[in-house]
Amino acid sequence: MKCFVQAGCIAAAGFLGQAVSAETVFDCDIKMFTNNGWIAPRVMVLWDDSTKTAKVYDGYIHQLVGEPLSAKVEHRKGNSYDLAWRVNDIPVSNARTKVDGLYSAVFDMDKSTLSIRGVITGFANAPRGRGKCKVQQG
């Protein structure tokens, strides 16, 4: 599963170099707090400040969808936002099945952090991760 995600992250970096100019690309290195996977080590948030909208892109999304997914955005306070998105049909390598991932995150632009929590259908564990984000220079 790690190779699957890493390959997608490499490809994602090239794709995001083509992001629309109205969007700011935040490149986030995520440290997982659980060792069961499901959270990509690199997540990119494409933020449009004029409309306060976001898209999310990572290795899973790259492999399964091929383009960034729109996230539901809710303002928290200051320059912090709740993001939510869903990734369908994630293959489970040891079970010959597919699951859906429901992801939520707190994106704090003042602290340049992204905290992610996932709920994976059919699994009791709740993967979590947190990382620092840098604005990607085009």
Tell me if residue 110 falls in helix, strand or coil: coil
Q: What is the pLDDT of residue 7?
A: 46
Contact by Cβ (8 Å): 73, 81: yes
Question: Which tokens sit at 8?
Answer: 């997608």
Residues 6+ apart with CB under 8 A from 72: 83, 84, 85
Residues 6+ apart with CB under 8 A from 77: none
Number of domains in the chain: 1
Asked if pLDDT for residue 2 goes beyond 90, the answer is no
Residue with the bigger pLDDT between 37 and 103: it is 103
Q: What is the pLDDT of residue 80?
A: 98
Contact by Cβ (8 Å): 68, 91: no
Residues 6+ apart with CB under 8 A from 84: 71, 72, 74, 102, 103, 104, 105
Question: Which tokens sit at 59?
Answer: 């290795």
Range 87-104 average pLDDT: 90
Q: What is the pLDDT of residue 1?
A: 46
Q: What is the pLDDT of residue 94?
A: 80
CATH label of the domain that carries residue 130: 2.40.160
Range 119-129 average pLDDT: 91
Give the whole-angstrom CA distance, residue 138 versus residue 135: 9
Instruction: Indicate the pTM of the whole model.
Output: 0.83
Domain range spanning residue 30?
2-135
Tens of pLDDT along 27-77? 999 999 987 789 999 999 999 999 999 999 999 999 999 999 999 999 999
